[in-house]
Amino acid sequence: MQQYNEWKPFGSFVHKTGESLWLGSGYLPASKIYPTNLLVHWQIGEEEPWCLATNLPDRIMALRYYQRRMWTEEMFGDFKKHGFDLESTMLRDFLRLSRLTLAVAILYVWLISVGARTIHEGLRHLVDRTDRRDLSIFQIGMRFIQKRLTNALSVRIPLCTYL
């Protein structure tokens, strides 16, 4: 980013957590091919600021969608190598793939529910690091269920919230 004829790293515009700077409209690259809005935001709890280039019209909307994007990326990871490993099934038959997708979707919702309940009840330390959270809610749920089954403990099945 150029300011007063000197270039600065994009992330240097915020200095502490909780700060945001909406730089409004500009172009990427400098040849003015893509109109874009620029946002630097340092989320509380993060080690460094987020530097976002977006077509969304304001800071609030950009932050909301970016936070949702993280959930989506975690979900894809859960469906792939970090969870169900769906791509290894190599299913080609539409009906079989449809049935598997339905079963996985139901199981995914249940494991998210178990993971959320595990966090809410203060039991996350049984399956995740205590100094920081490394696992997705799905992974917490899956590991909690695995731990209970390994130790021959009962497992609650309800598909409802932990509240």
Same domain flag for 137 and 88: yes
> What is the structure's pLDDT at 75?
83
3 state SS of 10: helix
pLDDT above 70 coverage of the chain, percent? 87
Domain coverage including residue 111: 80-150
Whether 75 is in a domain gets the answer no
Contact call for residues 144 and 126 (beta carbons, < 8 A): yes
Same domain flag for 103 and 61: no
Whether 142 is in a domain gets the answer yes
Same domain flag for 94 and 145: yes
Q: Which residues contact 10 (CB under 8 A, 6 or more apart)?
A: 1, 38, 40, 51
Same domain flag for 146 and 88: yes
Residues 92-120 have pLDDT tens digits of 899 998 999 899 989 999 999 999 999 99
| Residue after which a domain boundary falls, among 67, 89, 109 | 67
Residue 23 pLDDT exceeds 50: yes
Residue 151 pLDDT exceeds 90: yes
> What is the structure's pLDDT at 1?
52
Same domain flag for 63 and 90: no
> What is the structure's pLDDT at 4?
47
Whether 156 is in a domain gets the answer no
Question: 138 pLDDT band (50/70/90 cuts)?
Answer: very high
Same domain flag for 9 and 35: yes
Same domain flag for 88 and 45: no
- For the chain, the average pLDDT equals 84
| Residue after which a domain boundary falls, among 67, 88, 111 | 67
| CA distances for 130 relative to 71, 86, 93, 116, angstroms | 21, 30, 44, 16
Same domain flag for 88 and 60: no
Same domain flag for 85 and 58: no
| Residue after which a domain boundary falls, among 67, 90, 124 | 67
Same domain flag for 50 and 28: yes
Number of domains observed in the structure of the chain: 2
Same domain flag for 85 and 145: yes
Sign of CA dihedral 128, 125, 112, 50: negative
| CA distances for 78 relative to 71, 112, 132, 142, angstroms | 10, 11, 19, 10
Residues 24-73 have pLDDT tens digits of 777 666 666 777 888 889 888 888 888 888 889 899 999 888 888 877 88
Whether 74 is in a domain gets the answer no
CB atoms within 10 A of CB 55: 10
Q: Across residues 4-33, what is the average pLDDT?
A: 73
Same domain flag for 87 and 145: yes
Question: 163 pLDDT band (50/70/90 cuts)?
Answer: very low
Whether 157 is in a domain gets the answer no
3 state SS of 93: coil
To 10 degrees, what angle do helices 59-79 and 94-120 make?
Answer: 110
Q: Across residues 14-22, what is the average pLDDT?
A: 84
